[in-house]
Chains A and B, each alone.
Chain A
């Protein structure tokens, strides 16, 4: 079931020439976003269960208050970890390409480095002014620095994400914890809890360790300005602030109208819109069923 639904009532879908949608099936949440002639119209977010049903749930959520059906959408692009499971999508495009396209659409053509910090992975993407990805670096096979590890740490100290983020923001004194491995870091944190180190310091220490791990990925990739952060962790002010502080750079300010977790879904929708406008029935996927109007 949808946990977030939004519809732009100022737009009239019956007048739209192109209805395009993007669906991003992430490891933690699935998002769907519908564009009318390139303008955001409806969106929805659900917690990912199985990719197939979550893709459908997210899309149905977005359609819920629009008055039209799935069949009315001319082009759908799926992305994300479960992108290939969205049976209703006409094409799939990687979250690397979608993340870059979405970020440039929101923050403008000056964006060159996109940090996509998600629940299950962390990617650094370089792109052109047109939102074309030119290179990327993926986190190595370790949970350190990804959303899940920060959630799990919240369970350890019995605080929710918003609380830990807020505490991390205001603490400037903290112990040094391992940034190599999320499990080692949590194990060290447990030792410190037993040593009566204040939980606020622990939280700040853990956040710093994870932010350092993320920053290392950005450093390895090479920083090119302007820099933006997208993905679920971009909603976490504690991580954002620490990453910017470690990298000694300010990312472009978040657009208050956009949830940064929706950027890859927006990118996917932009691809769907573009495919439709260019009438490319088989630009990428094999056996795609294209439904664009002329």
Chain B
């Protein structure tokens, strides 16, 4: 049966996330240049200003052994899976593959594409400061963004002007504001949209032309604001952790033996992707971009205040807890990821002090549904104080 209203738009977002190559080829057929990016530290605005559509390389969720000969076993399954996408030539239509020097696992996935998947002549590794909470970081970043802009200008055969950059910044900021509004529906009881649906739209935005995405988001928000509440909230679960593009896990969180709602996801495939803005109207666009990207919720791989060991991300997480009021938190991270589980060690006591129960789910290519279900249901039982 054909879906109507907001459900139809959500269905379109889901279709795009599940059929990204089909969507991307439709853009290609319109004569658009396409750039795949492997990390959200890449300033997409520069690509967009040159008329290139950036789309994020996500995983296939196929169990495979092919990449074991290219990347060490103890690299995370997300990086293996993304490397696999290159080796399988699933993204051969891309005009460029780009990443930033951030996560070493995704760096190796990028190297596989460059060395073994035919992207040697159409790749760019952008330098990114190792620790972002230092004074020289902004200058380093602006310079690196400048080099990237120069490279992209040559690739697109276009002189990227300040007006082009300002226009791209505005389009991207608008997208961020729309996504933020969508997530903010989940702050309240009986929202007109579910957490997994918001996660779907957020994931789709990472592989879509931003103006097209903005149009869909505007329509969606308009319909949601006019529509009734969809679900009661039940036990409110928040996710914090690393990259996860498996929407099935988020669906599972809302289909347990108890009434539960997924109300927030702090990850680079969800809130960390868009929960910031780049200052508009600044004379130096590259410095503005650097300021914006430094202000992002930090990735654990970059988040270390020198000399103190302080994690700035924790402040954001605490703010999200205050705003979204979760009853429980799920740490979700890729097996063999180092920075994300390291953050669990610091973050768990913060949650314990707030009296918020938590559990850890370790992701691999395939999802152990039964085990995850048990862990999530046990977490909910703890939250509800179930006794014999």
Contact = CB atoms under 8 A, between A and B. Distances in A.
A binds B: yes
Interface of A: 81-84, 92-97, 101, 105, 121, 130-138, 140-141, 267, 270-271, 273-274, 283-286
16 contacts: A81-B374, A93-B381, A93-B386, A94-B378, A96-B375, A132-B385, A133-B382, A133-B386, A137-B360, A141-B335, A141-B362, A271-B388, A273-B388, A274-B388, A284-B257, A284-B258
B370 interface: yes
Interface string B363-384: 0100010110111011001100
A267 B388 contact: yes
Contacts of A285: 257
B360 A97 contact: no
Contacts of B381: 93-94, 96-97, 133, 284
A95 B374 CA distance: 8
B59 interface: no
A25 B362 CA distance: 23
B146 interface: no
Contact of A101 (B257, B370, B387): B387
A286 B386 contact: no
Contacts of B357: 134-135
Contact of A97 (B335, B364, B371, B378): B378
Contact of B364 (A96, A121, A141, A273): A141
B257 A286 contact: yes
Nearest to B258: A284
B375 A138 contact: yes
Given A130-B387, A141-B364, A274-B387, A136 B371 contact: no
A20 B381 CA distance: 20
Nearest to A94: B378
B338 interface: no
Contacts of B371: 81, 121, 138
A131 B387 CA distance: 7
A101 B388 contact: yes
Interface of B: 257-258, 335, 357, 359-360, 362, 364, 368, 370-371, 373-375, 377-378, 381-382, 385-388
Nearest to B375: A138
A125 B362 CA distance: 18
B362 A131 contact: no
B373 to A, nearest CB: 8
A98 to B, nearest CB: 9
A193 B106 CA distance: 40
- Which of A92, A96, A131 is packed against the most chain B CB atoms within 10 Å? A96
Q: Is the interface of A mostly helix, strand, loop or mixed?
A: mixed
A83 B370 CA distance: 9
A103 to B, nearest CB: 11
Given A138-B359, A271-B386, 19 more contacts: A81-B370, A84-B370, A93-B381, A94-B378, A95-B378, A96-B375, A96-B382, A97-B381, A97-B382, A131-B388, A133-B386, A136-B378, A136-B382, A140-B335, A270-B388, A274-B387, A283-B386, A284-B258, A284-B381
Nearest to A82: B370
Contacts of A137: 360
B351 to A, nearest CB: 10
A95 B378 CA distance: 8
B386 A284 contact: yes
A133 B371 CA distance: 17
A211 to B, nearest CB: 22
Contacts of B385: 132
A139 to B, nearest CB: 10
- Which of B360, B364, B386 is packed against the most chain A CB atoms within 10 Å? B386
A271 B374 CA distance: 16
A276 B77 CA distance: 45
A113 to B, nearest CB: 15
A267 B388 CA distance: 8
A285 B385 CA distance: 15
A137 B360 CA distance: 8
* A-B interface, 6 closest residue pairs, ranked by CB to CB distance from nearest: A96-B378, A94-B378, A270-B388, A274-B388, A101-B388, A132-B387
Contacts of B364: 141
A82 B382 CA distance: 20
Contacts of B387: 101, 130-132, 274
Given A92-B257, A138-B360, A140-B335, A132 B386 contact: yes
B378 A133 contact: yes
Contacts of B362: 140-141
A93 B385 CA distance: 12
Nearest to B382: A133
Contacts of A271: 386, 388
